[in-house]
Structure 1
């Protein structure tokens, strides 16, 4: 079978984010019959443009909003490169660039099997197929009648063609036929060495790999003439226009303003036409040097800048961020967890000694409700309610109090009996201000400044990290606020609370038949689920 890397993505469900881009009118007649290899996450999706294809439609293969934004930007950049290549002609790869791209394929194959390479016999077979491809005797090409060089080209295409397309797609490159043939040849050489390296590891030889150092680093961008931006328009102006158009939440506007300002300060440019991809890459490197986590860089800084320039591309004629890859660190993957019982009781014990309302009540409310910090902080006096029929007190998370993450986030969560005994209801109903945990500013927060809600959330997190000094929080294993949500969900699972009830309490989307037919879960059932949570012991008399 052909050597394809990475594997094609399986057809995802309808709940995944979708990507749609209309084929420009000036190229639609020239791309009929073209096959696109579109990068989507760690894989590629192949689409053929037929005579009846007005646009390109694919699934982004993820339900995560931030990851979907990143994948959308990458796919957009790739297709813009395709349309540009159709208008201006495909790009020619230099010899060095072809070797560098082959090196990426080599690294992918050696790194993927480094820990568990499998049996040596498997790699002996892979190497045999690679040798056959180089000799023109692999696959169906071996049966073609014609010159040896023709058979070899067909054989190499069958073995390594999809791998070459995948590497090109990751960089959004459309290259001429000669460059693609040169790349396939270099990938063939690289795969011979990768098979030998994996065979050695499978045989127990983990000595340093001498072949890995021969590949140069691929320079993702060649200098292109900057396209003029509208006179007087700055990158900050573009962000303000996009935020106004999309009605961004104050927190989003504040975070994205800081991200864009960080970029422009580092690059020392404000003109969007003057910003180049190397400037963005250098900025990303500086964020890594500052010690920021990969998740923060990717999901806050890079996500903001990618979204801005994807929106602005039709206005300024360029997108210098489209091909900038995400930061990846193996030691940061999926290591966040919820609080342990001992850690939780340490924080809750400290909260009982606080006079500041946010520090005093937020940890306890998050511990017994599993709600997001933002949902708790924006509560108003009237959002602490009692159902007349059952007498159950509950938290009413509704959009009138402030923005919610999504539609399922609008919900009610009964108060745990322990919270009522501790006097939370009495305290909340006795507050003079409508907002329980912060005071709103007249006219909202100034541009680029965090709103009081975000400041309150961050200060509680800083208090847990710096004053309570929970070791796991300081080490980044537990998020100071979101760790409660992890713990709450885990506790409900351990207590065998039905999945539909748990999702109603946490504000997660229900799938399939549950979402259509469960309807409103009665307050008593929700209260019974919350009341199952064991009381936290703090050695404090309430």
Structure 2
């Protein structure tokens, strides 16, 4: 009877759990503040092979761990003894709900192996049914985890994602079949599906776990904001990071080399960026990001440390400042300034703004001060200096 209960309960469990995971993942992506920055590398044939084989091995390892944690017969007997000792008169309650409550711990221990087998059987049946119907929702969570860990991309509804989903489902079918063989004492079973095999070159060449550049950037900005920096949320640097990702063709920081960054610098030259802009803006951003990632053990090395852009001295074709004619023209224009006659009163300049535009250039010309210095003056900043003759 207990087996029937477990079977009826678990038949709907895989599909329901997969649907819930899908909804949670969708919600998480929608609220991510930098979701628009999640540029990643498209899938390759090699990625499919690694995804399938690694998923197959992970499921087999998970099965081994589960079996090792099954309660032993001694555990079940100890739970039975504890249950009997907890009953006042040694008898179970007549009410079914109360009886279930007091027996729950014992039932969990006694039925752990059976629960696991029933759950696997139900999932295997759902996977086979999904493959026959072209339904892939059972592995959506596994797909997102693989893509995120390796900085890869496969948009929902794309052919690449559908192929990956079906291959992962076939890997799960093989792993669950091996688990059923283990239930019969056979631990020597091998995968029979032709796609479930070690990738070319051996498992030792499996891709290194990725460190997405976009995630590094988000964490770096959060770290700097805690120090009172980057109050704009990193908007001034966001396009630089996206430009680098677009040039690289991937967003895995682990795969970035010094040569990549030097080529990117040269590419910025060809786009018409000035050496000063490349040095002070683009390379400064990436060096700061990679330096922080290295110092905080997010990357094993800082490949951007010695990537620089020389900036030559500015060649001047004239002296600093205005010529006499330019100064006269500027002062004449400011003294004769007349605001535009706007029909809307709200768009008209006030008197103090008009006077400021007329007098600020004159004050700057006589004092040598900058516009910002004059406009920030307060009345207490104004002092009268007495001449030496008056002090004598």
TM over 0.5: no
Higher RCO (C-alpha 8 Å, min separation 6): 2
Give the alignment's TM-score, normalised by structure 2.
Answer: 0.32
Give the alignment's TM-score, normalised by structure 1.
Answer: 0.24
